[in-house]
Structure 1
Amino acid sequence: MGDHNQSQQINEAEIQKVIAQYDKESSFRELAGFVRWFVTLFAIGFTVYQLYVSIFIPPPEQILRSIHLAFGLGLIYLLFPVLRKGNWHRIPIWDWILAILGVGVGLYWLIEYDGLVTRIGAFTDTDLLVGGLAILLVLEAARRVVGWPIVVIAVLFLLYALYGRELPGFLQHRGVSIERLIGHMYFGTEGILGVPIGVSSSFIFLFILFGAFLEKTGVGDYFNDLALAIAGRRIGGPAKVTVFSSALQGTISGSSVANVVQSGAFTIPLMKRLGYRSEFAAGVEASSSTGGQIMPPIMGAAAFLMAEFIGMNYWDIAMAAAIPAILFFAGIWMMVHFEARRTGLRGLTEEEMPNRKEVFKKIYLLLPIVVIIVLSSIGVTPIRSALYGIVAAIVVGAFRKETRMSLKDILIAFENGAKAALGVVAATAAAGIIVGVVTLTGVGLKFANGLLELSGGVILPTLILTMIASLILGMGVPTTANYIITSTIAAPAIIALGYPALSAHMFTFYFGIVADITPPVALAAFAASGIAKSKPIRTGVESTRLSISAFIIPYMFVLSPALLLVDTTWVEGTWVVAKSFIGMIAVSAGLIGFWFRRMPGWERIILTIAGLLLIMPGTLTDIVGLGIIGVELVIQYLQTRNRKAVLNE
């Protein structure tokens, strides 16, 4: 028993090491004494403020967003050290000063609201000092919590705003004075206090808090048990458990890396114990966890941002994203299935399985998620849906003694929710700088025109160039900021060719997310590699191979918007989904090299091409693709049956 506990401690230490290395948003200082209580009360106060403005009449949006930023900046400087190897047990004086300044620049809007509203465009020296300080504080906060990539991008955009007049070609603009830049960045609603942090201060915070309450009721652990009960005994069961569990975790998680660490600590050792290669085990976890960010209803908070950016109802966004997300996980599931068949990997034995009866008795733990989905579907606002979901989590937790929440548990959930939101606050504030430069200089349209010029205005080359841009812009950037950057810079090129805004935004969102598993900067894959003790780059390659559906699906819903339920009938939508599933089976089998039997190289290529033809829109491609797949299916089935008959003789 002592050895088991020691093993558990070692595993926990390893997990914390992975978190510190790859998930900066969860790497908090470990404080004690009065300081610990102060920071805890500050975090609880953040949650209480957010609940108050959500339940009652909110203040003007500038005040709502600036106080949200004040809480965020204050907590970030108290909880995150200057350097990763900094002091994790005390707060140095300079961070107290930065925390006070962060709160101060946020409260400046509250104190000077009337004056700021009346003197827009004629800012005082004090205004400009506060605005400039706000920009610097946001950049440093983003560096500490989110990392360098988004800071580098934001700084490059600021430099572009100031010195763009010196650039040659289509990127040149008239230039912006530093006074105008600061005013636009902090005293308008198109910069730091723009739409991104507006969504963070309303919808996103409440859904993060909802996730914190679900964790306190044990829903996170229950996802693993439910996945085991459903898929554990199947061929390749442990890997399929990973796919299913990560899909469920993704409904409440806002981070690919956090999802990897949370579920991978359980699934990766299980897969390795049953004979899976380290790179394959880590790749399955990384690709599945990354796919969790495209799974409704939350989609890493991108669903709420997308609704605001393109002016659609949140529920319509979630519904449109559902079919591609299911296709994505179906693709990984099939890759795992064919790999397990090819290598002869077994499922779990009955002794290794949890008690199914006990697992299904706890199915009520999913009720809070059902409440959110049902309320959203009948037109209840996301804010109200999240609030009712939180109440439902508390009520559901009360059904059993071990999940019943005391006042202390509720306050801990308040604290955890506020801490979990800090990454989003920093990311959306920094992304607001990027969006602000785009609106100030028109670089989004210039970039779109540049892409169209390079592609000659032809859709397929445009999509390929947009994919590359989204992969680069998404490297090392968390989900929320990822979507803001890619949709602002890359999506306009697709829209300019006459395709629906929803298709364009989803396209860039998917490839921004896939950057988490695409080398050379594949944070989710590297985090999984840290748990599996596998080679990071090989794990990234394996993750990319398993996630091939994520590279295909975005092209599908641009070229065939029926996949997103855009301007389509149910009959057409059903056909598109059905043929896409068949095509995905063929592509998965071709890439793995196994269907009913092992396949030689030429057969794998033909089957993969047939699957891609079926996925592409067009009657002729559908007929050819179905024909090839049908013939291949019959041949393989008959050959397999004949071989079994010979062996039985």
Structure 2
Amino acid sequence: MAEAQAKSDNALDDIVADADTGGRAPKDAFGRAALWYIPLVWSIYQLWIASPLPFMVGFVWNDTQTRAIHLGFAVLLAFLAFPAGKNSPRHHIPNLTWLIAIVGAISASYLWWDYRGVADRTGAPNMTDIIMAGIGLILLMEAARRSLGIPLMLVALFFLSYVFFGSWSGLPEVVQWKGASFEKAMSHMWLTTEGVFGVALGVSSGFVFLFVLFGALLNQAGAGNYFLQLAFAALGHLRGGPAKAAVIASAATGLISGSSIANVVTTGTFTIPLMKKVGFPATKAGAVEVSSSINGVLTPPVMGAVAFLMTEYVGISYVEVVKTAIVPAAISYVALVYIVHLEALKSGMTGTDKTHPVKFILMAIFIIAISIVIAGGLLFLTGFAVDAINTAFGAASIWVILGLMMVAYVAAVRFAAQQPDLETSLETMQHLPSVGTIFKTGIHYLMPILLLMYLLMIERKSPGLSAFWSTMFMLFILFTQNPLKAFFRKQGEVMRHVREGVSDIAEGMIAGARNMIGLAAAMGVAGIIVGAVTLTGIGQVMAEFVEFLSGGNLLAMLFFVAVISIILGMGLPTTANYIVVSSLMAGVVVELGAQNGLIVPLVAVHMFVFYFGIMADVTPPVGLASFAAAAISKGDPLKTGFQAFFYSIRTALLPFLFIFNTDLLLIDVGPVQAIFVFIFALIAMLLFAAGTMNYFIVKSRIYESAALLLAAFILFQPGYFLNQLSPEFETRAGTELFQMAQDAPADASLRVRLIGENLNGDEVDARYLLPLGEVGPDGATRLLNASGIEFRDEDGKIFVDNLAFGGPAEQLGIDWDWELVELEVPADRMPKEIFYIPALLLVLGVFLLQRRRQPKEEAEALA
């Protein structure tokens, strides 16, 4: 039995290694040293460039150079840590691999060591530039294949093929383009910031690495086990408790892991066997873990690093991204807990606690609300205290703040030392102490997370700087927590614990760097795809293709965008997934939506394609997270994947809902309305879960499930039926543009209808949302400053006169000389929330019908 378990654990380790850190484990001293020191140096380098030290000593590289070094480390380690294939050596690094790895690192870092020469030859690359670019591109794709598998490399090859052979006469005329020479393509992809060394790699080098390192250090310190045991202690005694604990634990470990596969294995090793023990079939146990792990990358504050990419691509602040993502993620997680509860009810599972489902849900909402209030209150009070200290102590305030942090930290560790350290074993997980006892053991783990949130959301520091200081705090915790515990417990041997702390720091930094290998390679390869899009204009082709498939129908267009996003996302890591789907599909939704009267903020569009890209992680046949879960549960991988997809339907529903109801993303929503939106969205999601599971109080009949789904739709989209009765907007003459722009409040937008011709000579008749920003001296100035657009009045007609390069109006696809034919303003009509009443009455009717059957069905179940 023990031998079988050991083999199973080794298989799981291999899955994680092959997917995240590399499956090669050399036995020779030189190979081991290489895979120990190179990742360590990479982490030190990333901390160095993120710190103020380079500016203090006057040794600063520019962004392009730091990106090149970052990619050089990634390519070198991809070849050294990841075997070429299943039959390749795992216990030593072949000499040929060393040679290729070094060549790959040299070519990847070319823009660092010959930056001045390349810059001087801008637009006229020499033969060396082209050769280095060609070698670098090939070896980068091979590095991505080794570390991430074939899918991303195949996608990149497809787009490169289109770059070179897009002029082939055998292609449909609608997708043809003139093609590019090898010199032009390599220059664009490798020697500029339009391709590999663009925004994606900049985000990876600038702060994604630091967040991954922060997570690895948290996990090395023991925070992952701490969150897992907290979840089990709180929920393990409930009906289907291990499955509920899996959902909450995966949400918590999402803070410290950007990988859905690592998340599945970290929590699933404990949760899946316990789920099976209380009665969940193998496929359902694995599917619950997969669904909850996937949701981790949709949940703020990190979202698998996508939160920071979105700030760059959409042009909004990090705080706005978090605010946008929080409600869909929260209701999706609560709904998954409810789905687990319904599965437990349907299977007749019991628990030591017989909490009623409604009471349990209300309790969960209360706990979430209290947690948000406590966390938000702590951040607010901390900000207030810091301001007071700055006022009182001036330049010396930083030392006062650091002193107070150290006092708080030492007190937290002293408190933790009063309890024994948490163990990690399946047996331990079945006999956990109380929530309060476990909570005491790791209060100090919460401090760096709160520091990160404080710097990001209160101080509004950059993500890179926030992650740097939080990581430095984590290094300090790793160095000091064990010696301090030993001191407070009077165990002695403090120096031994100091050495252990240094070892933990090194291991955590190495783990963080190795976790970044595939991610950095993915960012580079994603840059190839982005470069192909910018070079060829294939985004317009995609729009025409989707328009052809949908026949101009808005819902059909969104459906096809969703399907294509899932296909594009198959086999890709989270960040590369987002880059690919947003580069190709976000513009499609904006352009075709505008032509169909659908006007939504750009962040909603990006959230839409991101959600469906992530759905690829659970969708067979490529969903690697499902394979990892099946390896633990001993269930069928495909069945696990399909079951996980069924559980994730609620996640697939959300993007359609917030596209048509941006209140769910808290866009232009005040605090009180935000609470109102959250409550009714949560009720709607729970009703949707009950409808799809065919179980509410008791097993539902078909018409009852249909009624629940209809009620959920009304609660999600109360404006739908109102729009059938009364138009949502009234029209105004285009000549009122400047007056309306002047009179609008701060941060308002104007909804305009424009007619004109695009660059292809096609007629365009579409609606657009023009932001107005701060109140200005006149309407024309506000439009120019906020939207980057100027209009002219010709004989009572308003035309687009000028567009700021890269401004919001140009990004929306607006062109010169288009005519503004009308403005649209919200109509004066009854509040859409009035439709909540019939929806709630419908739910009440189902409740009363099932309540009458409940005693009878319970008696039959007992018999």
Q: Same fold (TM over 0.5)?
A: yes
Paired with 2:718 and 2:453, the residues of 1 have a C-alpha distance of 31
**Aligned 8 A contact 1:261 1:527 in 2:** yes
CA-to-aligned-CA distance 1:261-312 (integer Å, 9 cap, x gap): 1111111011111211111100000111111111111111111111111111
Of 36, 43, 47, the match for 2:43: 47
1:529 maps to 630
Query: What pairs with 1:445-484 in structure 2 (closer than 5 Å)?
Result: 445-484=540-579
Q: Identify the match of residue 359 of structure 1 among 414, 435, 438.
A: 438
* 2:454 equivalent in structure 1: 374
What is the CA–CA distance in structure 2 between the aligned matches of 1:121 and 1:29, rounded to whole Å? 44
Query: What corresponds to 1:425 in structure 2?
Result: 520
Which of the pair is proportionally richer in strand? Answer: 2
Map 1:302-317 → 2, pairs under 5 A? 302-317=306-321
- The one of 107, 110, 113 aligned to 1:108: 110
Q: Does 1:120 align with 2:122?
A: yes
Instruction: Kindly report which structure 2 residues correspond to 1:125-524, keeping only aligned pairs within 5 A, or say none.
Output: 125-166=127-168, 167-347=171-351, 352-356=430-434, 357-364=436-443, 365-378=445-458, 379-397=460-478, 398-400=480-482, 401=485, 406-496=501-591, 497=593, 498-524=599-625
CA distance in 2, matches of 1:258, 1:646: 43
Residues 563 and 16 of structure 1, relative CA distance in 2, 3 Å threshold: same
Per-residue deviation, 1:399: 3.9
- Specify which structure has the higher proportion of helix: 1
Q: Is the deviation greater in 443-452 or in 257-266? A: 443-452
Change (3 A) 1:314 1:640: same
Separation of aligned partners in 1, 2:352 and 2:575: 37
For 1:135, the aligned partner's letter is L
Give the counterpart of 2:77 among 50, 75, 96: 75
Answer yes or no: is the 8 Å Cα contact 1:212–1:417 preserved in 2: yes
Gaps of 5+ in 1: none
- The structure number with the bigger radius of gyration is 2
141-150 vs 101-110, which deviates more? 101-110
Residues 1:451 and 1:362: Cα distance change in structure 2 (over 3 Å): same
Name the aligned partner's letter for residue 96 of structure 1. Answer: W
C-alpha distance in 1 between matches for 2:298 and 2:257:
10
The separation in 2 between residues aligned to 1:307 and 1:31, in whole angstroms, is 44
Mapped contact 1:232–1:353 kept (Cα < 8 A) = no
- Whether 2:685 is the aligned partner of 1:604: answer no
Q: How many Å separate the matches in 1 of 2:105 and 2:720?
A: 60
Any conservation in 1 of the 2:328–2:664 contact (CA below 8 Å)?
A: yes
Q: Return the alpha-carbon distance in structure 1 between the equivalents of residues 278 and 297 of structure 2.
A: 28
AA of the residue aligned to 1:389 = S
Opposite residue 259 of structure 1, the aligned amino acid is: N
1:42-97 CA distance string (max 9 Å, x none): 11111111111100345111111111111111111111111122100111111111
Contact 1:559 1:617 in 2 (8 A): no
Query: CA–CA distance in 2 between the matches of 1:33 and 1:162?
Result: 45
C-alpha deviation, 1:472, in angstroms: 0.3
Change (3 A) 1:613 1:537: farther
In 2, Cα distance between the equivalents of 1:524 and 1:293? Answer: 13
| Amino acid across the alignment from 1:36 | R
- Larger RCO, structures 1/2 (Cα 8 Å, 6+ apart): 1
Kept in 2, the 8 Å contact 1:29–1:90? The answer is: yes
Following TM superposition, by how much is the alpha carbon of 1:520 offset from its aligned partner in structure 2, in angstroms? Answer: 2.5
Distance in 2, Cα, partners of 1:48 & 1:392: 15
Cα offset for 1:457? Answer: 4.1
Output the amino acid matched with 1:569.
G
Cα shift at 1:104: 1.1
Q: Residue type matched to 1:438 in 2?
A: V
Q: Aligned pair in 2 of structure 1 residues 346, 11: CA closer, same or farther (>3 Å)? A: farther
Q: Which moved more, 1:618-627 or 1:603-612?
A: 618-627
Q: Deviations over 1:112-152 (max 9, x none)?
A: 21221121111101110000011001110000001100100
Deviation at 1:8, TM superposition (A): 4.9
Give the 5 Å matches for 1:558-597: 558-597=659-698
Structure 1 pair 619–512 and aligned structure 2 pair: CA distance change class (3 A)? closer
The structural deviation recorded for 1:480 is 1.0
Matched residue type, 1:475? M
SS of equivalent to 2:125 = coil
Closer/same/farther in 2, CA of residues 348 and 474 from structure 1, 3 Å limit? farther
Normalised to the residue count of structure 1, the TM-score between the two structures is 0.94
**Which one is further off, 624-633 or 504-513?**
624-633
Shift, 1:500, TM fit: 1.3
8 Å contact kept, 1:324–1:564: yes
Letter paired with 1:51: L
Q: Is it true that 1:34 corresponds to 2:112 in the alignment?
A: no
| Cα distance change of structure 1 residues 352 and 73 upon mapping to structure 2, 3 Å threshold | closer
The structural deviation recorded for 1:451 is 1.7
Kept in 2: contact 1:580–1:615 (CA 8 A): yes
Secondary structure in 2 aligned to 1:516? Answer: coil
Alignment-derived partner of residue 636 in structure 1: 850
Native 8 Å contact 1:331 1:547 kept in 2: no
Q: What secondary structure does 1:165 align onto?
A: coil
* Alignment partners' CA distance in 1, 2:715 and 2:146: 46
AA matched with 1:358: T
Residue 91 of structure 2: aligned partner = 89
Task: Verify the 8 A CA contact 1:20 1:27 in the aligned structure 2.
Answer: yes
- How far has the Cα of 1:626 moved from its partner? 2.5
- Structure 1 pair 396–113 and aligned structure 2 pair: CA distance change class (3 A): closer
SS at match of 2:167: helix
AA of the residue aligned to 2:625: A
Tell me by how many angstroms 1:373 deviates: 1.6
Separation in structure 1 between the aligned mates of residue 454 and residue 228 of structure 2, nearest angstrom: 24
Give yes or no for contact 1:296–1:322 (8 Å, CA) kept in 2. Answer: yes
What amino acid does structure 2 have at the position aligned with 1:328?
S
Partner Cα separation in structure 2 for residue 64 and residue 552 of structure 1: 40
- Give the structure 1 partner of residue 356 of structure 2: none
Following the alignment from structure 1 to structure 2, what is the Cα–Cα distance between the partners of residues 250 and 112?
39
Distance 2:649 2:292 in 1: 12
Q: Compared with structure 1, are the counterparts of its residues 31 and 69 closer, same or farther at alpha carbon in structure 2 (3 Å cutoff)?
A: farther
User: CA offsets, 1:447-492, max 9 Å, x none?
Assistant: 1233234334443222101100111001111111111111111111
The verdict on how the C-alpha distance between 1:31 and 1:197 changes in structure 2, with shifts beyond 3 A counting, is: farther
Q: Which residue of 2 aligns with 1:627?
A: 841
Amino acid at match of 1:143: R
Alignment of structure 1 residues 546-565 onto 2, 5 Å: 546-565=647-666
Please tell me the residue identity of whatever aligns with 2:449: I
Query: What secondary structure does 2:166 align onto?
Result: helix
Deviation at 1:26, TM superposition (A): 4.3
Which segment drifts farther, 283-292 or 409-418? Answer: 409-418
Structure 2, unmatched stretches of 5+, are 354-427, 487-496, 594-598, 722-834
Report the AA paired with residue 433 of structure 2.
N
Would you say the 8 A contact 1:287–1:525 is kept in 2?
A: no
Please, what is the CA RMSD of the aligned residues?
2.3
The TM-score, its normalising length taken from structure 2, stands at: 0.72
Could you tell me whether the CA contact under 8 Å between 2:27 and 2:92 is conserved in 1? Answer: yes
Structure 1 letter corresponding to 2:845? V
Q: What secondary structure sits across from 1:490 in the alignment?
A: helix
More displaced, 324-333 or 390-399?
390-399
Counterpart AA for 1:372: L
State how far apart, in whole Å, the 2-side matches of 1:623 and 1:524 are: 41
- 1:643 shift after superposition: 8.0
